[in-house]
Amino acid sequence: MICTCTLNPSLDYYLEFSEKVEDGKTNRSDLEYFEAGGKGINISIVLNNLQIPTRAYGFLGGFTREFYIDLLQEYSYIEPTFTYIDGHTRINIKLHDGRDTDLNATGPYINEADMKKLKDKVSRLDEGDYFCFAGVCPNYLEDDVIDMLKNCIANGVKVALDTNARIIRKMLPSKPFLVKMSSQEVEEYAGKNNMSNDDIVKFAKGLVKEGAENVLVLAGKNSAFLACESGSYQSNLLHQEKTVNTVGTGDSLTAGFLMNYLRSNDVVDSFRFAASCASATAYSKGLATREKIDSFYETEEVKKLD
């Protein structure tokens, strides 16, 4: 079973405008809708579209809790396994007027008792399970999260990480199954600016030497890289036609890799499928669907770099 964990999910409220939003004035939208948001949730949604069951862990609370669960009911293959808290699940505002503007809330405080409930749930995972921890972790929870992740690995669970650099750095000696980063996160981790693709690949190979089994890097909007025991690889994501949406491409990359590896145990082919999922999302209004993914998989190419 693939499990995803988003500590701070969001109820995303989308407002679309036909004209540009003007500061200091009343602006009326042409379309409004809600979506269940969060990096781990995005991964679960892509896997749902591939008919792969997942359990979604994290924290939900307040008056937004039941509505959030209701939104997930449309996804037959997602099993909500949230820990309920007293605080309110945040509402993020997503404005689109030809530009994308996000107004993101901080989210609720997670107390020690709530974190223990989550850790108890996750401790039941066992060998053969995958646990994907995705999204930002508040500083005050980092020690608890690291303890939870190390316990997973000790129990034979394959852990995937797309989170704070400090957590990734501390988890490398425990040999996580997958680390996924963006090129911006690579630069922040490395303390360097304007890193070339060669620099990014070298960095990813360094993480493998430090303990990560597989490292995925989404480099800007155009390329994805894989570093693993057998070497390093590149796949191009964007093609000639105009993209529709690049939000969620990184989450789609992670979802595709986990799904294909669960089926094939083939790292390189899993990277190819992951790149197909990322490309499919880039050319879709929402997250990738199976039909779109299959169309890209037929032509997606993976180049070995060394």
pLDDT, tens only, 51-84: 999 999 999 999 999 999 999 999 999 999 999 9
Q: How far from 226 is each of 172, 213, 235, 270, 275, CA to CA, in Å?
A: 16, 11, 9, 10, 10
User: Domain 177-306 belongs to what topology?
Assistant: UDP-N-acetylmuramoyl-L-alanine:D-glutamate ligase (3.40.1190)
Contact 278, 224 (CB under 8 A): yes
- Which residue from 37, 36, 83, 86 is spatially nearest to 58, judged by alpha carbons? 83
For 136-147, what is the mean pLDDT?
96
Structure confidence at residue 294 (pLDDT):
75
**Alpha-carbon span 177 to 213, nearest angstrom:** 5
Structure confidence at residue 242 (pLDDT):
56
**One fold for both 1-17+31-175 and 177-306?**
yes
In this prediction, residue 19 has a pLDDT band, given cuts at 50, 70 and 90, of very high
Q: Quick one: what percent of the chain has pLDDT higher than 90? A: 78
pLDDT digits (tens, 9 = 90+) for 157-200: 999 999 999 999 999 999 999 999 999 999 999 998 889 999 99
Structure confidence at residue 2 (pLDDT):
97
What residue type is assigned to position 59 of the chain?
Answer: F
Q: How many CB atoms lie within 10 A of CB 98?
A: 10
pLDDT digits (tens, 9 = 90+) for 229-262: 999 999 987 665 555 555 678 899 999 999 999 9
Structure confidence at residue 6 (pLDDT):
97
pLDDT digits (tens, 9 = 90+) for 76-109: 999 999 999 999 999 999 998 988 899 999 999 9
Tell me if residue 251 is catalytic.
yes
* Annotated catalytic residue, options 86, 102, 251, 306: 251
pTM: 0.92
In this prediction, residue 205 has a pLDDT band, given cuts at 50, 70 and 90, of very high
Directed axis angle between helix 112-122 and helix 142-154, to 10°?
10
User: Domain 1-17+31-175 belongs to what topology?
Assistant: UDP-N-acetylmuramoyl-L-alanine:D-glutamate ligase (3.40.1190)
Q: What are the φ and ψ backbone dihedral angles of 231, each rounded to 5 degrees? A: 135, -155
- Which tokens sit at 201? 């690949």
- Which sequence spans correspond to the domains of the chain? 1-17+31-175, 177-306
